[in-house]
Structure 1
Amino acid sequence: MVLKVQEKSPLKYPVVRQMACLDPAVIYRDPDSCRRQMKGLVKTFLEVKQVTGISAGDVILEQFGALLSLEGRSEEFHSFQPMQKRVDVFLRDVLSEPYPDLWAFCQKLLILSHGQASVERGFSVNNQVETTNIMGDTVVARRLVCDYVALHGGVTKVPLTKELLKSVEAARTRYRDYLTEERRKKELEAKGQKRKAAEDDLEELRKRKKTILEVSQGLAREADKTAEEAEAKSGTKMAELISKSNILRKGSKQKLAELEILEKEIEAKGAELRKIE
């Protein structure tokens, strides 16, 4: 079991272990060890070309040495509590101005350790606040409440400010406004769906009109062609061609009649669409 944990642990990587030199308390307690670890980190970054040039690495080590000798001896480093202040925020405040190259290098190091822990903790909180048929906005609201309570260290420690009390007083009004807005959105959505359905129907009718017109014209052309062929024939063959021509022309007229009905449907659907607008 222990071997399995060690295998999965990021501590098996030297870079991760060497990043202990960024701990303010360790900087105060064991500066020599931190200096060795920082040298190892700079060497690794030089090898993978994440630090450009040996001179840049020397500047980083020089600034880190100055940090160990000066700021690293202060009370802030000695009394640093990771549960009260984030390491990246602390280092930014200390390093960003006097040691810009060192701070840029530390930023690269800190990015390496970014995992999914905060996201997964959020999933855990979501699981606690969720109930059956809960809406997304309610989840967000409950998460905000949980985060705010956690920020102040418990329900009894949340300050009852004037703004908070006013917000509670106006909660019912905001809820009614929310319901009104939701009804308006649903009405607009229903109207949009109805309009979309009408537009689709109208487009389908227009496609049918185009198809029927093409069929009617094709039948008419075929009837004319057959009639011309009949003129050059005689007897039974001529009679057959004339009969065929008449059938084709009748079919063309039927399609034209369908077109008239379809035109009325298109006009009615267009009027319906204009009413929706």
Structure 2
Amino acid sequence: MAIGMAQVARNDPLIMAKLHMAVSRIFTTLLTKYQRDEPVMPFISKDLAILMKSLLKRFIKAEILNDITALQMVKLDTTAKEARAHLKDVDIGLGAEVVLKELQSSPNSRVGELSVLAFRKDCMDCLTNIVKKMQDKNPLKYTILRQMACLDPTNMFSDRDLCYERMKGVVQRFLHDHQLSGGISAGDMIVQQFGHFLSLEAKDESSSRLDVFLLGLLHQSYPELWTSSRKLLLLSHGQATVERGFSVNKEIEADNMKEDTVVAQRMICDYVSVCGGVLKVPLTKELLAAAASARSQYRLHLDQEKRKHASNAQREKRKVAEDHLEQLKKKKMILIEVANSLEKDADKLAEQAEGQSGTLMAQLITKSNILKKRCKEKITVLKEVEKALEDKSAELRHMP
């Protein structure tokens, strides 16, 4: 199949234009930015809006995109003919334009005006499908994501009124979802503190991590605002961290490795990563003391495991004895009931025999004697069970 596709591509005169048209580079910057562990959710709405608008500009009329909001871009019907630009105005990229001009100016070229229009039509359909997929899965449709942009320092500095309204929306969402323990009064305090923060301390701090920036300004002076902001910063912006963790687990895994060992090695790997590498790990007194006492800690761990195994074995032994004791008690009760029933039936047959004579009396007496014999056998077994029950009870009393 791969050879066939390569042959088709080789025979396609527009293959170079199609390769230059590839839009994967547009997503590279966004994907790279959000493959990080630090909190970046307040920035994602602006970046996604910029990305979508850059794609829409390539095949949607300019007048439709003037002053369009993020939510309107998500809901825009890109298949409508009145919204689409003319085929000659579709932006296929500078590289593709240069290749098309070279192909058209070539004397032996098979690429004519009709082929170029068909290529531009295919490019428009491709862009439409990409935007449609983004619209279907785009988080910009969620109000809380757009409102979280109020924590972007650039927005705080450039449009304080809009940020204030967005924070009010976030607080209302918190109240609706019962995420504020203090209720409405706590929500009013958060909005009030945010307004005070915007008027006095908000500034463009793009060179600093967002959580570091907000912690330094909010933690002491605006504790309620910091608590609610921290909940927003904890929202995950992707699964890169989880997938990276799977890769780390695969590297540290070995045969016969128990859960505690995996957890310990992951903690070491995470700490080294936080420090920026093995050579940057600070050699503190606690770390040196832990390394020096590692052997003794290992021996202590082995002793604890040995005692734990002994305790588990003793517990299991006691459980087996208790189960056996319970079975003996049930057997005793059954034997008592059977013996009493046999004795009653034998006495009843003996009474009936007293009022009879001849063969019938002999038969009744014979049945009565048989039942009495079986009753004595059950009583003998009952005494054995009672003896075993006493021995097992004594054994349990002497168990630790």
Instruction: Decide which of 281, 291, 297 is 1:174's aligned counterpart.
Output: 297
Instruction: Decide which of 12, 15, 34 is 2:144's aligned counterpart.
Output: 15
Instruction: Decide which of 161, 166, 178 is 1:35's aligned counterpart.
Output: 161
* 2:345 maps to 1:219: no
* 2:282 maps to 1:152: no
- d(CA) in 1 for partners of 2:221 and 2:285? 41
In structure 2, the CA distance between the partners of 1:128 and 1:12, relative to structure 1 (3 Å rule), is farther
Number of aligned positions between the proteins:
263
Q: Say if 2:147 and 2:166, in contact at 8 Å, map to a contact too.
A: yes
Normalized per residue, which structure has more helix? 1
Aligned pairs for 1:72-221 (under 5 A) are 72-73=202-203, 77-82=204-209, 86-87=210-211, 90-95=213-218, 98-99=221-222, 103=226, 106=229, 109-110=232-233, 113-114=235-236, 117=239, 122-221=245-344
Q: Indicate the residue corresponding to 1:268 in structure 2.
A: 391
Deviations 1:112-165 (Å, cap 9, x if unpaired)?
A: x35784666545543432222211111121122112211211001112233322
In structure 2, the CA distance between the partners of 1:191 and 1:66, relative to structure 1 (3 Å rule), is closer
- d(CA) in 1 for partners of 2:259 and 2:343? 62
Shift of 1:8: 2.3
Which gives a bigger RCO, structure 1 or 2 (Cα 8 Å, sep 6+)?
2
Shift of 1:168: 1.4
In structure 2, the CA distance between the partners of 1:81 and 1:96, relative to structure 1 (3 Å rule), is closer
Paired residue secondary structure (1:134): coil
- d(CA) in 2 for partners of 1:168 and 1:108? 37
In structure 2, the CA distance between the partners of 1:276 and 1:131, relative to structure 1 (3 Å rule), is same
- d(CA) in 1 for partners of 2:134 and 2:151? 24
Deviations 1:192-212 (Å, cap 9, x if unpaired)?
A: 111111110111011111111
| TM-score normalised by length of structure 1 | 0.79
Letter of the structure 1 residue corresponding to residue 156 of structure 2: I
Q: Indicate the residue corresponding to 1:4 in structure 2.
A: 133
In structure 2, the CA distance between the partners of 1:179 and 1:45, relative to structure 1 (3 Å rule), is closer
Deviations 1:19-61 (Å, cap 9, x if unpaired)?
A: 2220224433xx22x53244245257659964959x949x83x
Q: Indicate the residue corresponding to 2:201 in structure 1.
A: 71
Deviates more, 1:12-21 or 1:150-159: 12-21
What percentage of residue pairs aligned between the two structures are identical? 46
Unpaired segments ≥5 residues, structure 2? 1-129, 177-182
| TM-score normalised by length of structure 2 | 0.57
Q: Say if 1:63 and 1:102, in contact at 8 Å, map to a contact too.
A: yes
Please provide the CA RMSD for this pair: 3.2
